[in-house]
Amino acid sequence: MNLSRAFTISAALLVVTGALPVLAATPEEIHLWPGKAPGTEKWTQPEQVAGQPGRRRITNVSDPTVTVYLPEAGKANGTAIIVAPGGGMRALNIDAGGTSVAEWLSARGYTALVLKYRIRQQAPGPPGASAERRPALDGGEGRAAPSRTGARAESLPMAGRPEMVIRDANADPAQDDPEMAIAYRMAVADAGQAIRLVRANSAKWHVDPAKVGIMGFSAGGGVAVGSGLAEAGPGYPSFVISLYGPSLMDVNVPAYAAPLFMAVKQDHWNVTPGLIALFDKWREAKKPVELHVFDMANGAIGMEPTGTPIDSWLDRVTDWLALHDFAPRPNVESDLRERIQ
């Protein structure tokens, strides 16, 4: 091959490869704790995964991890969002409220991390099955939960159940289950450790340490809220987003409370009044808070279209992030002009 032809081929290859998109890095799973996670060293039930890709469900998590989804090179907007899936603290719907959300976020410049946090241990069997059928922390088992000690059960129906009395913005339907309480504390600790991990890797992942937040779905939203009620420090989030996940503990809003965003269906049993109570707590403390209650919603808040206004939840989230300078601000004036014309 003569030099002229070799140069022509090399130039052509440069043109072709230069036209190819720069792909994001392959997601990386990282263990949160060195060795066994503290506080649950004696947990022995093996982790189980069931379901097809896209609908996987994990139980008996004792080795918490984060899976990191980095945006394409040069497209990082400096904000990291830890995504906590739901599953009633008995399982993790790792795809529906985890990987699918992280992929969407990373494609738009966010550094996203799916949090596989510790959940209540169960006897071997199908994910979610247990000899003890106590209410899941998101009220997802389709039954009325026990009322709090001394609490008066209301007879007002909501989704076919008596309304739960909410006190101190605590909407946990399983407050007399000590094992569930332990799992919840461990999950919140995992969330804090994930936030520390992001800040420790902020330069490597092109993240602003002041823009590390958490988003949770259902019980994962409760975990996110718990992180927003935790002690100040490197494990405290810059912002909290809870999608149909109320507080699972008594709420005392800290003086340093992070901005809080919440969204829920109008008729979600303990969750809707729980989030309304949480909104009131944040508002009374004069902390930034936004709550969307969707009427006539069909299905849960998630990545699958429902054909109802609830499908706009991601727009509401990104608008709110921009409002607090955690995302690029949209050209609202231009958008309004286009709608009016």
Q: Which helix (H) or strand (E) holds 71?
A: none
If phi > 0 it is left, if psi is from -120 to 50 it is alpha, else beta; for residue 124 that is beta
Q: What is the pTM of this model?
A: 0.83
10 Å CB burial of residue 169 (0-12, 13-18, 19+) is: buried
> b/e for 278-287, b at 16 or more Cβ within 10 A?
bbebbeeeeb
pLDDT confidence of residue 138: 47
What's the pLDDT score for residue 24? 67
Beta bridge mates, 48: 59
The confidence score (pLDDT) of residue 163 equals 73
Q: How high is the pLDDT of residue 335?
A: 54
DSSP string, 121-161: ---SSSTT--S--PPPTTSTTSSPPPPPTTPPPP--EETTE
Output the pLDDT for position 125: 62
Q: Which helix (H) or strand (E) is 207 found in, with range?
A: none
Q: Angle at Cα 230 formed by Cα 109 and Cα 270, nearest 5°?
A: 85
Whether 280 contacts 260, CB under 8 Å: no
DSSP assignment letter at 75: -
Instruction: Give the distance from CA 250 to its chain's centroid.
Output: 20
Tokens of 155: 């007879």
In sequence order, what are the residues at sequence separation of 6 or more whose Cβ sits closer than 8 angstroms to the Cβ of residue 199? 207, 209, 212, 234
Place of tokens 């790792």: 94
Cα-Cα-Cα-Cα dihedral sign, residues 14, 17, 21, 22? negative
- In the chain, how long is the greatest CA-to-CA distance? 91
What DSSP assignment string belongs to 301-325? SSSS--SSGGGGHHHHHHHHHHHTT
Q: How far is CA 44 from CA 123, 124, 156, in A?
A: 10, 11, 42
Output the pLDDT for position 7: 40
Compute the distance between CA of residue 21 and CA of residue 221 in angstroms, rounded to an integer. 35
The three-state secondary structure class of 113 is strand
Helix axes 178-200, 219-228, angle to 10 degrees: 60
Distance, in Å, from the CA atom of 88 to the CA atom of 220, rounded to the nearest integer, reads 8
Spatial distance between the Cα atoms of 42 and 267, rounded to a whole number of angstroms: 39
| CATH superfamily, region 30-340 | Alpha/Beta hydrolase fold, catalytic domain (3.40.50.1820)
Confidence (pLDDT) at 25: 79
Structure tokens belonging to residue 215: 């988003």
Domain boundaries, the chain: 30-340
| Calpha distance 217→238 (Å, rounded) | 18
Question: What are the pLDDT tens digits along the chain (341 aa)?
Answer: 444 444 444 444 333 344 444 556 799 999 999 999 999 999 999 999 999 999 999 999 999 999 999 999 899 999 999 999 999 999 999 999 999 999 999 999 999 999 999 999 998 765 544 434 444 454 443 333 333 333 322 223 444 567 788 999 999 988 889 999 999 999 999 999 999 999 999 999 999 999 999 999 999 999 999 999 999 999 999 999 999 999 999 999 999 999 999 999 988 888 999 999 999 999 999 999 999 999 876 667 899 888 888 999 999 999 999 999 999 887 655 554 554 55
Task: Note whether 263 and 301 are within 8 A (CB).
Answer: yes
CA-based angle 330:73:78, to the nearest 5? 45
* Per-residue tokens: 228: 């927003």
| Total H helices, total E strands in the chain | 8, 12
CB-based contact 83:105 (threshold 8 Å): yes
CA separation for the pair 111, 108 (Å, rounded): 9
